[in-house]
């Protein structure tokens, strides 16, 4: 039977890759790369560099697949994402049928960890459910930008016996989740932290975390929020893209 692996490759530091990921990559016949257009060219190059650095066999092939366009202007967010995932499933189904022989092993590379805001595992589940191709699905964890952020700021995300909440900028814009004192925010294109009430809130922000271009800023949102927004805008202009993540923390009462 075919095997399809989703391999977490870390979020920008090529040394954030596990031994399991390296041995899986060395067992594959095909590495599938999704082409997300010009803005993501640098990220695609990082993925290629990982293959070149860690895959010692010369018998694997790289197959690039165009990512279906997502309707980012759609009024209803969830149906638009559902429709995009289904179009992805159709495209992956065709790819697996055309590019993998019955006993072949293919891999999709997932940025960071495949379990955090990454749809690859879900889409491959949808491919299996459609029933047109069969394969064994394997998921190899990776180091997420969330873990890398905490490590670079030298902090723990969970305070003793307390939870941490992971969310998106879009949801944070509606307000801090009820009772949450430690909130990790990803996918925030609009600096939602500048809109949140709470004079005492602390922020641990990082962009391009783990890479040579990493920027880290921390402090009280009231004091460093504007500095972060300015650093973010300048870095985005310089690179043409940005990926940033942050922890918002309510300090313990004295
Ligand atoms: C589609 S999600 C993918 C998350 C990924 N699966 C992970 O585990 O990090 C993309 C978001 O992850 C965060 N991210 C990914 N890489 C990052 C990095 N090197 N530095 C900071 N944030 C990053 C950003 O919030 C970005 O908007």
Q: Tens digits of per-residue pLDDT, 132-165?
A: 999 999 999 999 999 999 999 999 999 999 999 9
pLDDT of residue 81: 74
pLDDT of residue 141: 98
pLDDT single digits (tens) 205-219: 999 999 999 999 999
Closest approach atom of ligand 1 to CA 115: 6
pLDDT of residue 75: 67
Q: Could you tell me if residue 40 is left (phi over 0), alpha (psi between -120 and 50 degrees) or otherwise beta?
A: alpha
In angstroms, the Cα distances linking 132 to 1, 90, 137, 151, 192 are 14, 10, 15, 43, 42
In this structure, the residue with its CA closest to atom 10 of ligand 1 is: 187
| Residue whose pair of structure tokens reads 């890398």 in the numeric block | 148
**Pocket test residue of 171, 245, 246, 248 for ligand 1, highest count of atoms within 8 A of CB:** 245
Residues with CB under 6 A from ligand 1: 11-12, 111-113, 116-118, 144-145, 186-187, 206-211, 243-245
Length of the chain measured in residues: 254
Strand, coil or helix: what is 183? Answer: strand
Q: How far is the CA of 98 from the centre of ligand 1 (A)?
A: 31
In angstroms, the Cα distances linking 81 to 84, 123, 189, 216, 219 are 5, 11, 17, 31, 35
Closest approach atom of ligand 1 to CA 142: 8
**CA 70-73-74 angle, 5° bins:** 80
pLDDT of residue 15: 96
Task: Using 70 as the pLDDT threshold, list the residues of the chain that sit under it.
Answer: 37-39, 70-75, 254
pLDDT of residue 72: 66
Q: Calculate the average pLDDT of the chain.
A: 92
pTM of the model: 0.93
**CA 197-199-203 angle, 5° bins:** 90
**What phi, psi does 47 have (nearest 5°)?**
-65, -40
Q: How many CB atoms lie within 10 A of CB 180?
A: 16
pLDDT of residue 166: 97
In angstroms, the Cα distances linking 235 to 113, 184, 215, 229, 239 are 24, 21, 9, 10, 6
């Amino acid at each position: 039977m075919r095997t399809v692996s989703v391999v977490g490759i870390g979020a920008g530091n090529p040394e954030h890759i596990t031994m399991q990921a390296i041995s899986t990559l060395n067992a594959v016949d095909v590495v599938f790369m999704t082409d997300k257009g010009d803005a993501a060219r640098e990220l695609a190059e990082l993925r290629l560099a990982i293959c070149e650095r860690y895959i010692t066999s010369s018998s694997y092939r790289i197959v690039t697949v165009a990512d279906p366009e997502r309707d980012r202007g759609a009024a209803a967010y969830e149906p638009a994402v559902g429709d995009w995932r289904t179009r992805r499933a159709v495209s992956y189904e065709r790819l697996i049928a055309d590019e993998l022989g019955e006993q072949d092993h293919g891999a999709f590379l997932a940025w960071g960890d495949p379990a955090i805001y990454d749809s690859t595992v879900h889409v491959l589940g949808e491919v299996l459910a459609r029933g047109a191709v069969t394969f064994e699905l394997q998921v190899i964890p990776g180091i997420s930008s969330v873990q890398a952020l905490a490590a670079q700021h030298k902090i723990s995300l969970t305070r003793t016996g307390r939870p941490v909440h992971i969310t998106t900028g879009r949801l944070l814009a509606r307000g801090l989740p009820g009772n949450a004192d430690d909130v990790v925010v990803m996918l925030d294109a609009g600096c939602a932290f500048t809109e949140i009430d709470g004079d005492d809130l602390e922020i641990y922000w990082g962009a391009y975390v783990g890479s040579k271009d990493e920027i880290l800023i921390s402090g009280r949102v009231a004091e460093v929020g504007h500095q972060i927004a300015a650093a973010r805008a300048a870095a985005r202009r310089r690179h043409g893209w940005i990926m940033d993540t942050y922890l918002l923390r309510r300090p313990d009462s004295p």
